[in-house]
A and B are shown apart, each in its own frame.
Chain A
Amino acid sequence: MADNTKTTQEETLDGTVVYSLPFPEDMKDLEKMAPIVIKQPYQINYLHSYGQDSPFFAGLTNKKLLGTKCKDCGHTFATPKLACMECGGDCEWVEMPPQGRIHTFTVCQFGSEEFLPECPFILALIEFDGVDTLFLTRLLGLDSDNPSMDWVGMKVKPKFKRLSKLKPTDVWFIPA
């Protein structure tokens, strides 16, 4: 049976272990003490639902790039939105054209911790004929050491991962 009346806690050697810090004789000297900084790890697994956007990711696993189109006003979104920003109407799923153009781009030499190992990488927004909004993607097949303003307007086409990760990076674009 567990002893639920014990008055000492178990001492362990994990985490930060300190036997004592310098302590002044005069309590007034504590005001000059250097700050104590400890490490606090924090890790979480979220259950992230794509919700109403889920068909987009199902599309990627089938090598289809899907957007949405407003049933009322026809406004077409390259990055899916199921409620129309223009008129508030409901949108339906449509397939994007097989080719687009680079609307703008950058080469990231640095980035967030998660993507640092992938630097440098090219980010681009893609425009499609007859589609009102843009699509954010990675661009491959261009020399990231020699970016050029002339890339804007270049025709590009999507490529899809064979083994889908159910992420927007299951699709990327290359020169058409």
Chain B
Amino acid sequence: MRTVYAISGGVSKFTKARHDKTFQAIVKEAYDYCLNDIGLTPKQGIELIDGSVASYFSDHFSRQLMCGIMTQDYLGLTPKPGHRVEGGGATGGLCFQEAWKSVASGHMDVCMAYGFETMSHVQTWKGNEFIALASDVSFDYPVGGFYSGYYAMMVVRHCKEFGTTVEQMANVSVKNHINALYNPYAQKRMRIGIDDVRNSPMVAWPLTRLDICTMSDGAAAILFVSEEGLNRIEKATGTSIPKVKVTGIGRGTDAMRMSDRPHQSFDDFYAKNSLPNEQNEDSKAHYRELWDKGFRYPGIHSFRAGRMASRQAYAHAGIEDPLNDIDFVELHDAYTSSEIQTYEDMGLCRYGEGGAFAESGKAHVPGIDYGLKLEHEPICPVNPSGGLIACGHPVGATGLMQGVFGIWQLQGTIGKHLGDDTIQIKDPKRGVIHSHAGTGTYVSVSIMEKED
């Protein structure tokens, strides 16, 4: 595989409804921004780009098939190669990896990844119905298909297994909404407290409206290049571009129906699903105790797909101690509960410790006053952008948006792009993005590093 750099990104403002433009034109905003940031005009883009990968989730929302090609021609990229990738909520993360593959394999030297979703074309309740069609329509959907209901069932079990509390979940909402105060691209920018989260309307017990991300209209784009592609672009612009290298790619899957998820033994977990930082007596004792109390893995409280994606990506990038080896994470917090579940899958803490980790301060951004009593200094900020909870979740754009914020963090250009550098992590070397579908069906983890 060849070395692949992610050299530039662009995001449209995520917002409830973009009736002013069709999806192609919203993508063009992000795409033009991505090109312009490295000094390229749209015309130069057409000359230099070898092909593309398009990311969008639902044909139902747009009532239009082949949106990918309509975007490709709007951007002027026909007749270059391109294809669409789809994998539920992880669509954007999968697109990131498909574009990486296009360059790593030698198929392309300059590949544009673009994604979007325009969810405002139907009312929220119909949108919930479309999203719930991403559950088995024979056995799950007809019982009362509703994703917030599915996630609520998962977190009830998480609470039962580990004693996770709704206040710990609310902590995530406070963190992400406050982080977004410094991100003008985000949809919901609010200073809130734990009580606000708990007092907001109950959606699916115990998840309230402020525990849940919102539907959104938006687009994002990332440009991937090989060494040769980079030379070609630098020659065209006459400038040197700061290099962000993609150093790890991982993916995992799990059964569509939550009801089908396995309940494995301690030995199976250790053999198949444990991480390098769990190969010690202390961790083994921790897990032995969980199993003695009746814990089974992954059950419905843990995302095996997220763990396997992390395990594969960490092995690829040579990460052995995620919490200390990673400088920031942008992860798929469709729910506050799933951020907590994902801390554990990604090995930022052990299974069972996610709730305590959420309120520890380890995942907060240094220098921000959250109005919370945090006992620990930040170690690895999670969702400095505000995540899905505050940025919004225009599905096909989401995973790429994480990549864009990741590139800007590693380039140290957050201040330039957001007009405020409060959420700029100080001199980060390595960032990780995590994209997640369904009730944990497809999960992708990608690792980016700054190259001096």
The residues of A with any CB-CB pair to B shorter than 8 Å are 34-35, 37, 40, 42, 48, 50, 53, 77-79, 81, 85-86, 103-116, 118, 121, 123-125, 132-138, 147, 149, 152, 167-169
Contact = CB atoms under 8 A, between A and B. Distances in A.
Contacts of B148: 108, 110
Given A134-B300, A169-B142, A105 B153 contact: yes
B142 A104 contact: no
Contacts of A34: 20
Interface string B103-126: 000000000000000000001011
A168 B143 contact: yes
A34 B152 CA distance: 40
A42 B63 contact: yes
A163 to B, nearest CB: 16
B137 A125 contact: no
Given A149-B159, A152-B157, A115 B205 contact: no
Contact of B138 (A85, A125, A168): A168
Given A106-B156, A108-B152, 8 more contacts: A104-B156, A110-B203, A112-B128, A114-B129, A118-B144, A132-B263, A134-B260, A169-B143
B96 to A, nearest CB: 29
B19 A35 contact: yes
Could you say which of B125, B137, B156 has the most chain A C-beta atoms within 10 Å of its C-beta?
B156
Interface of B: 19-21, 63, 123, 125-126, 128-129, 132, 137-140, 142-146, 148-150, 152-154, 156-157, 159-160, 201-207, 255, 257-263, 300
A79 B259 contact: yes
Contact of A133 (B137, B157, B207, B260): B260
Given A105-B156, A106-B153, A152-B160, A123 B129 contact: no
A138 B140 CA distance: 11
Nearest to A137: B143
A34 B207 CA distance: 38
Could you say which of A37, A79, A132 has the most chain B C-beta atoms within 10 Å of its C-beta?
A79
B156 A152 contact: yes
A118 B258 CA distance: 23
Contact of B149 (A77, A106, A137): A106
Closest 5 CB pairs of A and B: A106-B152, A112-B129, A134-B259, A113-B125, A104-B157
Contacts of B149: 106, 108, 111, 123
Nearest to B132: A112
A23 B249 CA distance: 53
Contacts of A115: 144-146
Contact of B257 (A35, A114, A118, A136): A136
